[in-house]
Amino acid sequence: MPSIRDPLLLVVLLASCVPDAHPRNPSDGDSGAPDSRPTADHDATSDNSDANGTDACTPSGPRDSDAPDASTSDETSLDSGVDAAYVDAGAQEGPLDALQEMRNPGPGADAAPDARSMCPSAGWPSGWVCIPAGAFTMGSPVTEPGRDNLNDDEVQHQVTITRAFWMKATEVTQGEWQAVTGNNPSGFNACGANCPVEEVRWYEAVAYANALSRKDGYAPCYAKSPGVAYDDAAAAAKMTPDWVDGLSCPGYRLPTEAEWEYAARSGTTTAFYSGPITNVECSPVDPNLDKVGWYCANSNSTTHSVATKQPSPWGLYDMLGNVWEFVWDWYGPYSGNVTDPLGPVSAGDRVGRGGSFAEAAKYHRTAYREYDHPDVRYNFLGVRLVRSIP
């Protein structure tokens, strides 16, 4: 996501600078060489300080997405502020009936679980997948091909997810983003409305989640000040949002890193949800990754329409490849066995997951963690949303 790993990224990278970057050595191959983290030169025209005093970088040149959006400029209360004209008329039943039955314990279950841990039997919102509560092993075994055992940030540990949540079946598309914000920041805008939106800053992804919540009639999850929803103005000021109610918030939000990996694994334990990894670089093609993801071996150096590869066992598309996906968490070491982790309280970088059309196969392993400053903008970086089940 954030690093210039090899010469291919020099071709596809549209960002004008890489703040707080940690570029990989372009010569890194199968040797397992550790990441190098020299400090990148900042753009001389950039304003390198954000509202919280954190070093940042504003890409040069005007962009439509940098202009304030009148549709979301008004401050919105976290308790109300819902535009009644946009309230969803009703959820549609999803087509994954067999999947719902598989993930909901039957009459023989040992104990009656909390209703929030269950996937509803009907009323699935169109385009969303229910991810049930459960436990899984997060991280990767030290023997997994492509794993960096020197920068060991994939230590296996047990994670418990106590409540079910909706996850968007695809990455947010350019058409969906534009319908809410009125702009399209994507570098690959010629790819079309059904291609993933990219060149989205983390701050903008948070503001988009709130704007979509307001549009669909939900109280927003993120605040810029007590009682005032996070919006485009806060994103432009690079303010760090307050996630007021945590996992109990009713609106759309970014997944936590644990939620993302749990959903991406979809009950599997291999490097990819389609099977083990056999070829860690761009060539030769890895047959299991080729089934499910657009990456450097098959993408022709561009994004592709969402949901054109096979889904995960739980019905999620493009969790691996196409574009990286920002999650909520700050980047930091894992802290052992945990329940509903929200990540470090603060740090310098936000986590990105899933790999992109420009990356080698090893960076698409389900356990792989990438990270960068929340103000970066790349043409291989997008977003996918979730919503807690009430």
The string of pLDDT tens digits covering residues 50-85 is 444 443 333 333 333 333 343 344 465 565 433 333
Tell me: pLDDT of 112 over 60: no
Number of Cβ within 10 Å of residue 40's Cβ equals 17
The string of pLDDT tens digits covering residues 266-289 is 999 999 999 999 999 999 999 999
Note the pLDDT of residue 357.
Answer: 98
SS3 247: helix
Tell me: pLDDT of 304 over 90: yes
What the block records as the tokens of 3 is 């690093």
Cβ 169 vs Cβ 311: under 8 Å: yes
Which residue shows structure tokens 């963690």? 369
Where does the pLDDT of residue 11 fall: very low under 50, low under 70, confident under 90, or very high at 90 and above? very low
Where does the pLDDT of residue 122 fall: very low under 50, low under 70, confident under 90, or very high at 90 and above? confident
The string of pLDDT tens digits covering residues 194-234 is 999 999 999 999 999 999 999 999 999 999 999 999 999 99
d(CA 22, CA 197): 24
d(CA 130, CA 124): 7
d(CA 269, CA 175): 34
SS3 209: helix
Backbone φ, ψ for residue 101 (5° rounding): -65, -40
Mean pLDDT for the stretch of residues 300-312: 98
d(CA 237, CA 256): 23
d(CA 344, CA 369): 14
Note the pLDDT of residue 30.
Answer: 37
Closest by CA position to 374, among listed 276, 219, 220, 234: 234
Higher pLDDT: 333 or 109? It is 333
Cβ 356 vs Cβ 322: under 8 Å: yes
Domain 1-28+35-105+112-390 fold: paralog of FGE (formylglycine-generating enzyme) (3.90.1580)
d(CA 13, CA 162): 39
Lowest mean pLDDT among 89-93, 241-245, 255-259, 319-323: 89-93
Tell me: pLDDT of 373 over 70: yes
Share of the chain above pLDDT 90, in %: 67
Note the pLDDT of residue 113.
Answer: 52
Mean pLDDT for the stretch of residues 168-181: 98
Tell me: pLDDT of 312 over 70: yes
